[in-house]
């Protein structure tokens, strides 16, 4: 028991605990008993409590903040920085409503960071209100604040606001450039368009008069954009640029992983293998990128060999590894390899299959025309299949002309759609897919029935669109 410890001894013990232990509460009691109210030591206590995986212990951090009769800004900033993002937003909103604390630039930075880490419609609204407060109180002069705002807007897919804020900044750091470039690369909708914007922004960074140099984070983000675009020549130029100005891929695991992924997706598998085996250090992402690259190029056996070699390097595959590999097997038509990989997940690697892994197997069988096997696989799943899995099978039925199976799956999807209409607005995809299956069999009366049902439910079909853009990449 820690009883009657001197003040300095309490402080020393508090700093010596790298993780929360049962003694921390006793140290907390001794600090209170000795009347120690230094915000620095209490902030350390908040960090310890917030580091606990148990919510009831993490909640004690709020008690430390309430220790003062008058709220302390430093402790408040520490609390909203260390607690979970959702708690951070709530704590800020509560203190803002009380109007007792005068916030500083670090307060807004930490709350915006919390909004960025938990993107949603509600957090986007909160972040926009924070933006207004930042302008009102004039705390945007700290470059970290607008940089965090860019990160927040990009995480919430409001890339237009992020770019507007970026363009308005009089000064930028390398972190600012990285936040904007990474924001473009992280968007899935309009993938190639945003990836191209990331490359243009990287080119602007190289010629910017401020002289800010790209970092390893910049290179990794740009390599991701190149992978999405499939621009091998540009990727090779960035590879050379990185070796001359940042560091060699052999010494940086993240740049090396980015190069393996880029070369694999751009069709240069030999270069990917050269970089991979030349790396001094490899993490789970590196092995996943290499194995996935081999599978994409139809080399399923070699991909499995790479997967089995991971254990010798003390690296264990995880759920994301198998998702990536199974998806690659789908696109590469490697049915047997994909099924073997799925069987080995639990048995050999101890990874329990999740819904996305079952979905990959259904997609794999459907693409190969094994529709009955796919249907039986779904019916034998230990977890309930979601609508995505059924849509995958319905799409395969249309491709392979199996109207009977398509009608069965389509009607089942419409039942799921009707059950979820109370929570979500109805979508047109499932109705259109079933209509197309009927059209394939020239069952026009059934097509008309489906269309009338859509009209009765006021379900509108989304108009298709496409864009063509010609760009010169001479600047790269």
209: Cβ contacts below 8 Å, ≥ 6 apart = none
CA 343 to chain centre: 27
Burial class (CB in 10 A: 0-12, 13-18, 19+), 132: exposed
Helices (H), 249-332: 253-265, 269-278, 284-296, 300-309, 319-332
Domain locations in the chain as residue ranges: 1-83, 382-460
Q: How confident is the chain (476 residues) per 10-residue block, as mean pLDDT?
A: 48 48 60 61 75 67 68 84 88 86 90 91 91 88 92 93 93 93 84 88 90 91 91 92 84 91 92 92 91 85 84 85 86 85 87 91 90 90 86 86 82 71 58 74 75 68 55 46
- pTM over the 0.95 mark: no
What's the confidence (pLDDT) of residue 175? 93
Provide the sign of the torsion angle of the four alpha carbons 435, 439, 440, 446, taken in this order.
Answer: positive
The pLDDT of residue 307:
84
> Is there a contact between 303 and 335 (Cβ–Cβ < 8 Å)?
no
Complete DSSP assignment for 270-285:
HHHHHHHHH-S---HH
For helices 159-168 and 174-186, the axis angle rounded to 10 degrees is 160
CA 68 vs. chain centroid, Å, equals 39
State the pLDDT at residue 463: 60
Listed in sequence order, the residues at least 6 apart from 362 whose beta carbon sits closer than 8 Å to its beta carbon are 374, 377, 378, 385, 389, 392, 393
Please report the DSSP string for 375-428 in residue order. Answer: HHHHHT-SS---HHHHHHHHHHHHHHT-HHHHHHHHHHHHHHHHHHTTTS---S
| pLDDT at res. 173 | 92
User: What's residue 273's pLDDT?
Assistant: 92
């Amino acid at each position: 028991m820690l009883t009657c410890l001197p003040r300095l001894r309490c402080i020393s013990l508090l700093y010596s605990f790298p993780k929360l232990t049962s003694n921390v509460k006793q140290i907390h009691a001794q600090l209170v008993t000795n009347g120690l109210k230094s915000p620095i030591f209490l902030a350390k206590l908040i960090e310890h409590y917030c580091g606990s995986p148990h919510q009831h212990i993490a909640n004690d951090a709020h008690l430390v903040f309430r220790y003062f009769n008058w709220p302390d800004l430093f402790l408040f900033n520490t609390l909203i920085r260390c607690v979970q993002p959702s708690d951070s937003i709530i704590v800020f909103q509560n203190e803002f409503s009380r109007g007792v604390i005068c916030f500083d630039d670090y307060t807004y930075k930490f709350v915006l960071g919390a909004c960025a880490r938990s993107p949603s419609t509600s957090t986007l609204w909160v972040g926009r209100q924070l933006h207004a407060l930042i302008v009102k109180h004039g705390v945007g002069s700290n470059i970290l604040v607008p940089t965090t705002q860019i990160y927040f807007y990009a995480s919430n897919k409001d890339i237009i606001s992020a770019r507007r804020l970026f363009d308005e900044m009089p000064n930028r750091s390398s972190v600012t450039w990285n936040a904007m470039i990474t924001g473009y690369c992280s968007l899935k909708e309009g993938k190639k368009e945003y990836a191209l914007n990331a490359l243009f922004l990287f080119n602007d960074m190289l010629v910017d008069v401020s002289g800010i140099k790209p970092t390893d984070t910049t290179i990794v983000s740009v390599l991701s954009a190149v992978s999405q675009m499939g621009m091998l020549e540009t990727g090779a130029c960035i590879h050379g640029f990185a070796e001359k100005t940042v560091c060699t891929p052999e010494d940086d695991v993240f740049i090396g992983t980015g190069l393996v992924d880029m070369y694999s997706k751009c069709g240069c598998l030999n270069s990917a293998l050269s970089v991979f085996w030349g790396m001094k250090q490899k993490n789970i992402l590196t092995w996943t990128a290499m194995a996935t690259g081999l599978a994409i190029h139809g080399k399923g056996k070699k991909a499995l060999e790479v997967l089995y070699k991971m254990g010798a390097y003390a690296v264990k595959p995880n759920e994301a590894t198998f998702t990536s590999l199974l998806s690659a097997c789908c696109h590469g038509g490697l049915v047997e390899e994909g099924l073997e990989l799925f069987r080995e997940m639990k048995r050999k690697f101890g990874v329990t299959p999740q819904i996305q892994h079952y979905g990959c197997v259904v997609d794999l069988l459907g693409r190969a025309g094994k529709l009955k096997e796919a249907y039986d696989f779904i019916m034998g799943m230990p977890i309930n299949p979601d609508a995505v899995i059924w849509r995958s099978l319905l799409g395969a039925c249309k491709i392979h002309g199996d109207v009977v199976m398509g009608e069965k799956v389509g009607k089942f999807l419409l039942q799921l759609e009707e059950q979820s209409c109370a929570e979500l607005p109805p979508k047109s995809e499932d109705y259109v897919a079933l209509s197309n299956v009927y059209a394939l069999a020239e069952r026009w009366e059934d097509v008309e029935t489906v269309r009338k049902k859509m009209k009765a439910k006021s379900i509108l079909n989304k108009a298709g669109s496409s864009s063509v853009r010609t760009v010169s990449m001479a600047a790269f």
